[in-house]
Amino acid sequence: MIEIETVIEEEKKDEETEELLGEDSVDDGGADIPEADEAASESLEDSASETEALKEEIRQLKAALEQKEAEQSRILSQISEFSEVFPKKSLESVPAEVWESVSGGIPLAAAYALYEKKAQSGRELAQSVNARNAERSSGAVGRESGSEYYSPAEVRKMSAAEVRKNYNTIIESMKKWS
């Protein structure tokens, strides 16, 4: 009997608790659970897709970082090689033309060597042209010594006394006139 009384008392307490809490808290056999499950499920799906998006962004950032580190390593290697090949040249003395070649994918030392080769060829060409011109030239204008040459126009401007004084130089100059 004591057990029946205990069960009855517990049922009364449950009923009183339900009355105090109101009808909304009464267990209706799980009627609201599908709605709650659906909301929780959507929330989990949103979180999962957001997590995947973040993971993908992290992968992309890691790949970009690795690419930047590889580029930086390549640049440092090229600077080291340049310093070994051209120890007397500073990076500040490298012309813009060389940097354009480097940005096109040519290694720094190779681009600078090509630049130097072209510059040397240009200097040699200028020297050969200057040498040919010197051979064909009648000489410098404005004389201080008798070993130089005169142009026809200079001789025409000379007085008779100047012609007598510079006669031998004028004769040598005439050999250069064409």
pLDDT digits (tens, 9 = 90+) for 61-108: 999 999 999 989 988 999 999 999 999 999 899 999 999 999 898 999
Residue 112: count of CB within 10 angstroms of its CB: 24
Query: Do 82 and 109 form a contact (C-beta atoms < 8 A)?
Result: yes
Residues 6 or more apart in contact with residue 21 via CB below 8 angstroms: none
pTM score: 0.46
DSSP state of 8: H
Crossing angle of helices 96-103 and 108-136, rounded to 10° = 140
From 19-23, 54-58, 71-75, 97-101, the region with the lowest mean pLDDT: 19-23
Q: Pick the residue with more confidence: 95 or 14?
A: 95
User: d(Cα 8, Cα 171) in Å, to the nearest integer?
Assistant: 150
Closest CA to 125 of 113, 136, 135, 133: 133
CA angle 144, 148, 152 (to 5 degrees): 110
The pair phi, psi for residue 90, each rounded to 5°, is: -100, 160
Q: Largest Cα–Cα distance of the chain, in whole Å?
A: 164
